[in-house]
Amino acid sequence: MLSVRDIETYYGETQVLFGVSLDVRAGEIVALLGPSGAGKTTLLRSILGLTPARRGHIEFGGRDVTRLPTHEIARAGIGWVPDDRRVFPTLTAARNLAIARKRTPYRAFTPEACCDIFPALRHLLPRECENMSGGELQMVSISRSRSGLFPSMMFGFSNVEISCELMGSGTMSSVRPKLSTCSRSLLNASTDHC
């Protein structure tokens, strides 16, 4: 479903990715593990076109997305949960989720559906995000990605255990069923945190 072939990515003159390839099939969860600075986030950014690969190819759902602008890659169905969350701080959680909803060919995740996954989110919906804890913001950020109707989600977690806790479990293995309504996922975790 997602196919990355021999990509090379640079920041200015500095090359960060040297011929990275990976495949994520439908229903699969793939974890990228590596020390800080290894290039995990850069790979996610390359897939999203935020830091486009200078060489190599990226296909999603059989479509070449290597040179597409980020908004078209998002509409193609790739969502991102950045490790620094990037919610709008002065808006409520409900508003952040509403902004993320857009027309795509995929099934919508309503705020209600997100609250079924994260029961703690229910009382957070009317609250401004600037008044939330890190873990609460993580719930909003994950829900926002689901609200965008994305069949594929990419997570950048600087602390996997916190994220697992949010999923209502203590271990990585039990995260999978929680994500099962999402057809494929790419997790990114620093080994120095897990």
Ligand X SMILES: Nc1ncnc2c1ncn2[C@@H]1O[C@H](COP(=O)(O)OP(=O)(O)O)[C@@H](O)[C@H]1O
Binding site for ligand X (CB under 6 A): 11, 14, 16, 34, 36-42, 190
CA distance 18 to 10: 9
Other beta carbons within 10 angstroms of residue 39's beta carbon come to 17
Which partner from the list Mg ion, ligand X, none does 177 bind, CB cut-off 5 to 8 Å by kind?
none
> Least CB distance from residue 80 to ligand X, whole Å?
13
Which partner from the list ligand X, Mg ion, none does 185 bind, CB cut-off 5 to 8 Å by kind?
none
Q: Which of 41, 96, 138, 183 contacts Mg ion by CB under 5 A?
A: 41
- Nearer to Mg ion by C-beta: 24 or 44? 44
> Least CB distance from residue 191 to Mg ion, whole Å?
11
Q: Write the CB contacts of 172 (distance below 8 Å, at least 6 apart in sequence).
A: 31, 160, 164, 194
Q: Determine the interface stretch with Mg ion among 34-42, 61-69, 114-122, 170-178 (rule: CB under 5 A).
A: 34-42
- Nearer to Mg ion by C-beta: 18 or 174? 18
Q: Is 66 in the site for Mg ion (CB under 5 A)?
A: no
Residue 149 has phi, psi (to 5 degrees) of 65, 30
> Least CB distance from residue 173 to ligand X, whole Å?
23
Which partner from the list Mg ion, ligand X, none does 138 bind, CB cut-off 5 to 8 Å by kind?
none
Total residues contacting Mg ion (rule CB under 5 A)? 2
- Nearer to Mg ion by C-beta: 25 or 193? 193
- Nearer to ligand X by C-beta: 11 or 89? 11
CA distance 58 to 4: 5
> Least CB distance from residue 47 to ligand X, whole Å?
12
Q: Pick from 6, 3, 11: which is nearest to 41 by CA?
A: 11
- Where do contacts with Mg ion occur on this chain (CB under 5 A)? 40-41
